[in-house]
């Protein structure tokens, strides 16, 4: 258990930035849904869907590659850092310049309203700055400087949130304040920096400012960097490991975000009365945010687990450790799935401030379960990373991508964004199943698959029964049931697993 506790401790520290910090950032969702109609929020959702794809292209697997090469015996980590960051700087500068030059045609290609080319320019700069910061952040993780990593991430989020509040809440309030009021005194200062016509553009501008400031906070990791031109001897093994990861990442982004790109293209006009296609994307994107609680757990876990798995790979009992980690990770995520799904009646209105957004809440339990299987996949994927067979990740991701596209094509015209949610769940379940099946043949780990599937089926049954019962009960009783059933699930898990022996896992 000491090894598992060490990983849990690292996960908790990284979670300060990726969970607590992003939960604070998530408080922007009520802000956006209160100030922007669904069609405006659809612009944000659509552009950031493309950002997810481009983030993978900008970093092309170099973070994980850096971990792998840095842990090889006799590797000069500083020399590796210098050459890898040099490569990332060159590629990021080129890609950023290309996106900025193509800003106008790209916005037209995406089907977004014309007249705001600066959106694409800001997005390009955000992508470039974040890509350059990726390797210094990876170095902090490699050196187990989790607290510094978390503090910089938190500062980035705090600045982003602060700028959003300034431009979206304070500035409009000052601009429309009555003469002689307290806010009216701020009008000369505010109006010198505020342009009401930018609207949702301030979402991207705030992100850009926060990304630029993050590089300043990483000054120590950047100042000891020395540019080294990456020669072919260095590039061949590095890219041979990294490029399959990039393809795997692109396939992953197809599975994660393509639904928000395909939805406006394949959704029949008038499918949702009173909502345009772009507005439907906004509703789906806002409700997708409610599944972010599961995503945050997964992200925090990945930050800690990736270097942890590589460090543990040489230990004799590493397979048993990996099995123990998967078990408790899955059970924790199952509790989150039950807890959120059974409390959407009050969580939904708390975060989604306009009634038009609440119509999509039924997709949330499906997306929560989908993200749970994605987390399981990340756990299982350790085998092809440790055996240097990263191309298997590409195959698995590609299989998921094909299923995602096919199911979205079939289901969106019939079920709307509910079809996209089911496609996401089917995709991640397939990826987890394939990864486990292949891993059993190449890197056997004694995962308690049967027990975990039993707990997941129990969690799903609890959610289905709980939601059905809540519809028949008074509000107060329904709320109490939503709080009681997750605690019942925890008690059941603890009772059964304690008897099996916590130490044996």
pLDDT in tens, 65-80: 887 888 777 677 888 8
pLDDT in tens, the chain (505 residues): 455 555 556 656 665 666 666 666 667 888 888 888 888 888 888 788 888 888 889 988 888 888 788 877 767 788 888 888 999 999 999 999 998 888 777 776 666 666 678 888 899 999 999 999 999 998 888 887 878 888 898 899 889 999 999 999 888 888 878 787 777 778 887 788 888 888 889 999 999 999 999 999 999 988 888 888 877 777 788 888 888 878 877 877 887 788 888 888 889 988 998 888 888 988 998 898 888 778 777 777 776 666 677 666 666 677 888 888 888 889 989 999 999 999 998 888 888 888 888 889 999 999 999 999 999 998 898 888 888 787 888 889 889 999 999 999 999 999 999 999 999 999 999 999 999 999 998 888 888 899 999 999 999 999 999 888 877 766 667 788 888 899 999 899 888 877 775 555 4
Q: What is the pLDDT of residue 183?
A: 78
Largest CA distance in the chain: 75
Provide DSSP, 87-109.
Answer: HHHHHHHHHHHHHHHTHHHHHHH
Residue 410, number of CB atoms within 10 A of its CB: 13
**pTM above the 0.85 mark?**
no
* Structural contact between residues 292 and 26, judged by C-beta atoms closer than 8 angstroms: yes
> 309 to each of 326, 445, 452, how far by Cα in Å?
12, 13, 21
The pLDDT assigned to 324 comes to: 83
Residue 458 lies in a domain: yes
Q: Does 137 reside within a domain?
A: yes
Write down the pLDDT at residue 214. 95
> Which residue in the block uniquely carries the two structure tokens 């000491």?
2
Torsions phi, psi of 143, nearest 5? -90, 10
Q: How much is the pLDDT for 286?
A: 87
> In this structure, are residues 25 and 161 in contact, taking their beta carbons and an 8 Å threshold?
yes
Give the structural domain span for 496: 2-500
The two structure tokens encoding residue 165? 């509040």
Within 13 A of 271's CA, how many CA atoms are on the CB side? 21
Q: How far apart are CA 271 and CA 265, in angstroms?
A: 12
Angle subtended by helix axes 344-351 and 364-380, to nearest 10: 90
Is residue 18 within 8 Å of residue 299, measured between CB atoms? Answer: yes
> Cβ contacts of residue 176 below 8 Å, gap of 6+?
none
pLDDT at 4 (0 to 100): 54
CA 275 to CA 325: how far, in whole Å? 44
Cα–Cα distance measured from residue 36 to residue 278, given in angstroms and rounded to the nearest whole number: 13
**Other beta carbons less than 10 A from residue 346's beta carbon:** 11
What is the per-residue pLDDT across 442-458, written as a single tens digit (0 to 9) for each?
888 888 899 999 999 99
Note the residue count of the chain.
505
Residue 302 pLDDT: 72
The conformation of residue 501, written as its DSSP 8-state character, comes to: -
DSSP 8-class letter at 445: -
The percent of the chain in helix, strand and coil, each rounded to the nearest 5, is: 85, 0, 15
Is 341 among the domain residues?
yes
**Cα dihedral value 350, 420, 249, 47, nearest 10:** -60
Number of domains in the chain: 1
Q: Is residue 277 part of a domain?
A: yes
Q: Does a structural domain hold residue 376?
A: yes
Q: Is 325 a domain residue?
A: yes
In a domain, 505, yes or no: no
HEC sequence for 470-485: HHHCCHHHHHHHHHHH
Residue 107 lies in a domain: yes
pLDDT for position 505: 44
**HEC profile of 50-81:** HHHHHHHHHHCCHHHHHHHHHCCCCCCHHHHH
């Amino acid at each position: 258990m000491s090894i598992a506790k060490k990983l849990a401790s690292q996960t908790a520290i990284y979670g300060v930035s990726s969970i607590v910090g992003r939960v604070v950032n998530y408080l922007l969702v009520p802000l956006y849904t209160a100030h922007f109609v669904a069609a405006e929020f659809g612009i944000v959702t659509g552009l950031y869907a493309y950002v997810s794809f481009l983030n993978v292209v900008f970093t092309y697997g170099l973070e994980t590659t850096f971990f792998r090469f840095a842990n090889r015996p006799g590797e000069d980590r500083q020399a590796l850092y210098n050459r890898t960051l040099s490569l990332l700087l060159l590629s990021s500068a080129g890609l950023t310049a290309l996106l900025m030059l193509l800003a106008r045609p790209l916005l037209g290609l995406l089907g977004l309203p014309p007249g705001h080319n600066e959106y694409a320019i800001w997005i390009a700069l955000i992508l470039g700055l974040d890509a350059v910061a990726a390797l210094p952040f990876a170095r902090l993780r490699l050196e187990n400087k989790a607290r510094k990593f978390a503090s910089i991430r938190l500062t980035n989020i705090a600045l982003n949130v602060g700028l959003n509040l300034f431009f979206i809440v304070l500035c409009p309030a000052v601009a429309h304040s009555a003469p002689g009021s307290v806010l009216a005194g701020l009008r000369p200062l505010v109006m010198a920096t505020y342009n009401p016509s930018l609207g949702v553009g301030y979402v991207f501008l705030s992100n850009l400012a926060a990304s630029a400031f993050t590089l300043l906070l990483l000054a120590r990791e950047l100042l000891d960097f020395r540019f080294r031109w990456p020669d072919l001897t260095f590039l061949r093994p590095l890219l041979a490991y990294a490029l399959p990861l990039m393809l795997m990442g692109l396939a992953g982004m197809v599975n994660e975000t393509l639904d928000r790109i395909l939805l406006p293209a394949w959704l029949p006009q008038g499918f949702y009365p009173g909502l345009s296609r772009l507005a439907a994307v906004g509703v789906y994107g806002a409700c997708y945010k409610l599944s972010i609680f599961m995503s945050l757990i997964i992200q925090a876990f990945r930050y800690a687990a990736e270097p942890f798995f590589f460090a543990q790979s040489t230990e004799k009992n590493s397979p048993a450790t990996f099995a123990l980690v998967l078990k408790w990770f899955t059970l924790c995520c199952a509790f989150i799935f039950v807890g959120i799904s059974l409390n959407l009646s009050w969580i939904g209105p708390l975060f989604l401030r306009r009634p038009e957004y609440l119509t999509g809440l039924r997709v949330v339990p499906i997306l929560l379960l989908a993200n749970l299987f994605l987390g399981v996949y990340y756990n299982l994927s350790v085998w092809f990373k440790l055996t240097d067979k990263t191309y298997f990740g590409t195959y698995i991701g590609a299989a998921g991508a094909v299923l995602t596209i096919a199911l979205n094509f079939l289901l969106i015209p019939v079920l709307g964004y509910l079809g996209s949610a089911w496609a996401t769940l089917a995709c991640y379940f397939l990826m987890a199943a394939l990864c486990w099946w292949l891993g059993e043949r190449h890197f056997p780990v004694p995962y308690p698959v049967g027990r975990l599937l039993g707990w997941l089926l129990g969690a799903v049954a609890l959610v289905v029964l709980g939601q059905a019962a809540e519809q028949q009960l008074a509000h107060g009783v329904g709320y109490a049931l939503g709080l009681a059933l997750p605690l019942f699930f925890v008690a059941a898990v603890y009772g059964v697993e304690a008897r099996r022996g916590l130490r044996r896992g």
